[in-house]
């Protein structure tokens, strides 16, 4: 066994033994059944417009947004929601969110300008290494934008800019805690929070009124409870009561994961990698079936209930008036906003399917490891058949999947890849083929 394979095996086997990857086998038959009911709608769009294209599903998108907002408002009445634009910035989404009175979370000057054009709701500006030109947008729109400051150096720069322009802005500060790991790229350490608040008093035009924290890919509520507890303990032991009551919001960020819409192929799990390395090195003689594997995810109601409990225990007792609690959901909204429609253009020996849409539509080789149901709308079936579904790009990594809900596969068949709104359209690019069009459902 060569050294590279040994390293891969040791790393994956260690992760497997430590149960870092809580996956289970299963299927997404329920997703197939949901979208099979909409067959006529998708066929009508594909008859009207040439494939491939994205389709914006306003009804499905809105329903998931409203479910999240209403559930959190029920458990945490002072909830304020800001959609993370980076997960999908298409104006169809932003205008729908505007009508639902949902704020927007921006990570760059480009996103701020896009948000100002397509929404009249409040904005957050969060992210590292902000340019002075971007900070001036905050100063230009102080009634619309709240700035989450990322560092002591950024505090100095925005402080000097506000002194020059003599305009008062609303601001918070991003922090990281002991559980943040690589996410410590963002913000200041929690133990420096008091120093930051004291230093901010040097700048008369900065109204520092909030604390922001974010961890991504949270399959359950535990990370939120952990940071809530750490923030509560720090404020209680370091901040005077008067200073605590100047804090008007605590922003817990996003990272909420949607309930099962995708999974992993066996080969991309820890145990799958171990098995593959053993097979390649002839330590075992057979491959396992390429089943679908899924992470356990948490329903929205449980996220909200658990976070509310954590706030009641660690945060609310510190305040005379409960602070607003901000959330920045992205993936859990945008996942449901868009679907991809393709047609089969060629079929080759070995059940090799070639479609007219390439994975430039999603920007990267996502489905080499990730599993998403592919539905043949022309010949639908509640059972999957095995086949390798490629796109139209000149690269063998241009793969949509290895299974399809279909009775059979024929040239001209219409294929649907559902729930592809999150971090796919955002990454789409003019690589070999042109950028995809988006049509309303």
Return the CATH number at 210.
3.20.20.10
Count of domains forming the chain? 2
Considering the domain architecture, whether residues 349 and 230 belong to the same structural domain is answered as: no
> pLDDT at position 422, please?
98
Q: Is the pLDDT of residue 21 over 70?
A: no
Better-predicted residue by pLDDT, 339 or 276: 339
Contact 212, 174 (CB under 8 A): yes
Domain boundary among 284, 312, 334: 334
Domain boundary among 310, 334, 358: 334
Q: Is the pLDDT of residue 4 over 90?
A: no
> pLDDT at position 195, please?
99
The verdict on residue 73 lying in a domain is yes
Pairing of strands 292-295, 53-56: unpaired
Considering the domain architecture, whether residues 374 and 393 belong to the same structural domain is answered as: yes
> pLDDT at position 182, please?
79
Considering the domain architecture, whether residues 220 and 326 belong to the same structural domain is answered as: yes
Considering the domain architecture, whether residues 241 and 369 belong to the same structural domain is answered as: no
Q: Is the pLDDT of residue 119 over 50?
A: yes
**Site of tokens 């390798």:** 388
How confident is the model over 157-194, as pLDDT tens digits? 999 999 999 999 999 999 999 988 877 899 999 999 99
Is pTM, for the whole model, over 0.85? yes
The verdict on residue 68 lying in a domain is yes
CA 271 to chain centre: 26
Considering the domain architecture, whether residues 51 and 140 belong to the same structural domain is answered as: no
Considering the domain architecture, whether residues 69 and 33 belong to the same structural domain is answered as: no
Contact 405, 52 (CB under 8 A): no
Considering the domain architecture, whether residues 317 and 392 belong to the same structural domain is answered as: no
Q: Is the pLDDT of residue 29 over 90?
A: yes
Range of the domain at 424: 27-55+337-440
Residues 6+ apart with CB under 8 A from 223: 179, 215, 255
Considering the domain architecture, whether residues 345 and 317 belong to the same structural domain is answered as: no
| CB-facing half-sphere around the CA of 336: CA atoms within 13 A | 21
Q: Which two tokens stand for residue 68?
A: 């999240």
The verdict on residue 429 lying in a domain is yes
**Site of tokens 């709240």:** 146
Contact 38, 318 (CB under 8 A): no
Q: Which two tokens stand for residue 267?
A: 């080969």
C-alpha to C-alpha distance for 217 and 258, rounded to whole angstroms: 10
Q: Is the pLDDT of residue 271 over 80?
A: no
Residues 6+ apart with CB under 8 A from 191: 234
Considering the domain architecture, whether residues 67 and 34 belong to the same structural domain is answered as: no
> pLDDT at position 290, please?
58
Contact 196, 173 (CB under 8 A): yes
> pLDDT at position 20, please?
47
Q: Which two tokens stand for residue 244?
A: 């605590």
> pLDDT at position 1, please?
52
Where residue 265 falls among pLDDT bands split at 50, 70, 90? Answer: confident
Contact 358, 432 (CB under 8 A): yes
Q: Is the pLDDT of residue 201 over 50?
A: yes
CB atoms within 10 A of CB 17: 9
Where residue 12 falls among pLDDT bands split at 50, 70, 90? Answer: low
Q: Is 155 helix (H, G, I), strand (E, B) or coil?
A: helix
The verdict on residue 267 lying in a domain is no
Cα–Cα distances in Å, from 117 out to 90, 95, 114, 292? 12, 10, 5, 42
Where residue 291 falls among pLDDT bands split at 50, 70, 90? Answer: confident
Considering the domain architecture, whether residues 314 and 395 belong to the same structural domain is answered as: no
The verdict on residue 303 lying in a domain is yes
The verdict on residue 210 lying in a domain is yes
Contact 413, 378 (CB under 8 A): yes
C-alpha to C-alpha distance for 176 and 189, rounded to whole angstroms: 5
Q: Is the pLDDT of residue 317 over 50?
A: yes
> pLDDT at position 2, please?
56
CATH label of the domain that carries residue 428: 2.40.37.10
> pLDDT at position 141, please?
98
User: 106, 394, 404, 441: which one is catalytic?
Assistant: 394
Domain boundary among 334, 357, 383: 334
How confident is the model over 344-403, as pLDDT tens digits? 999 999 899 999 999 999 999 999 989 999 999 999 999 999 999 999 999 999 999 999
Which secondary-structure segment (H or E) carries 94? helix 91-99
137: exposed, middle or buried (Cβ count in 10 Å: 0-12, 13-18, 19+): buried
Least confident of 3-12, 87-96, 205-214, 363-372: 3-12
Considering the domain architecture, whether residues 355 and 327 belong to the same structural domain is answered as: no
Considering the domain architecture, whether residues 217 and 248 belong to the same structural domain is answered as: yes
The verdict on residue 11 lying in a domain is no
C-alpha to C-alpha distance for 425 and 435, rounded to whole angstroms: 9
Q: Which two tokens stand for residue 117?
A: 């054009």
C-alpha to C-alpha distance for 346 and 414, rounded to whole angstroms: 12
The size of the chain, in residues, is: 441
394 is catalytic: yes
The verdict on residue 432 lying in a domain is yes
Average model confidence (pLDDT) for the chain? 93
> pLDDT at position 260, please?
84
Cα dihedral value 215, 21, 374, 30, nearest 10: -90
**In this structure, what DSSP letter does residue 256 have?**
B
| CB-facing half-sphere around the CA of 98: CA atoms within 13 A | 15
| Nearest of 100, 19, 104 to residue 67 by alpha carbon | 100
């Amino acid at each position: 066994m060569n050294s590279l394979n040994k390293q891969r095996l040791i790393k994956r086997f260690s992760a497997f033994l430590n149960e870092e990857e809580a996956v289970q086998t299963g299927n997404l038959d329920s997703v197939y059944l949901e979208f099979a009911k909409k067959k006529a709608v998708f066929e009508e769009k594909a008859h009207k417009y040439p494939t491939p294209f994205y389709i914006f599903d306003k009804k499905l998108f809105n329903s998931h947004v409203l479910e999240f907002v209403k559930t959190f408002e029920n458990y945490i009445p002072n909830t304020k929601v800001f959609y993370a634009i980076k997960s999908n910035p298409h104006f169809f989404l932003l205008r729908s969110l505007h009508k639902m009175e949902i704020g927007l979370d921006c990570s760059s000057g480009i996103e701020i300008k896009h948000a100002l054009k397509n929404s009249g709701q409040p904005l957050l500006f969060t992210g590292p290494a902000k340019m002075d030109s971007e900070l001036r947008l905050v100063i230009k729109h102080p009634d619309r934008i709240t700035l989450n400051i990322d560092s002591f150096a950024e505090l100095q720069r925005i402080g000097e800019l506000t002194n020059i322009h003599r305009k008062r802005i609303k601001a918070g500060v991003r922090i990281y805690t002991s559980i943040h790991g690589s996410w410590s790229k963002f913000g200041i350490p929690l133990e420096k929070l008091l120093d930051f608040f004291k230093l901010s008093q040097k700048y008369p035009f900065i109204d520092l009124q909030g604390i922001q924290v974010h961890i991504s890919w949270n399959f359950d509520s535990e990370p939120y409870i952990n940071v809530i507890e750490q923030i509560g303990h720090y404020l209680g032991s370091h901040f005077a009561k008067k200073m605590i009551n100047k804090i008007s919001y605590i922003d817990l960020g996003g990272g909420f994961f949607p309930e099962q819409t995708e999974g992993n192929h066996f080969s991309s799990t820890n145990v799958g990698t171990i098995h593959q390395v053993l097979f390649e090195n002839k330590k075992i003689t057979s491959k396992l079936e390429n089943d679908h594997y899924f992470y356990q995810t948490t329903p929205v109601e449980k996220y909200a209930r658990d976070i509310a409990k954590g706030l009641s225990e660690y945060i609310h007792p510190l305040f005379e008036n409960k602070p607003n609690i901000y959330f920045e959901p992205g993936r859990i909204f945008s996942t449901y906003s868009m679907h991809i429609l393709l047609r089969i253009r060629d079929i080759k020996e070995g059940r090799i399917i070639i479609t007219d849409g390439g994975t430039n539509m999603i920007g990267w080789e996502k489905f080499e490891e990730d599993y998403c149901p592919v539905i043949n709308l022309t010949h639908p079936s509640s059972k999957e058949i095995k086949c390798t579904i490629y796109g139209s790009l000149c690269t063998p990594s241009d793969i949509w999947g290895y299974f399809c809900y279909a009775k059979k596969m024929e040239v001209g068949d219409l294929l649907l890849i559902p729930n592809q709104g999150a971090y796919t359209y955002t990454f789409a690019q003019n690589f070999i083929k042109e950028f995809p069009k988006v049509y309303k459902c």
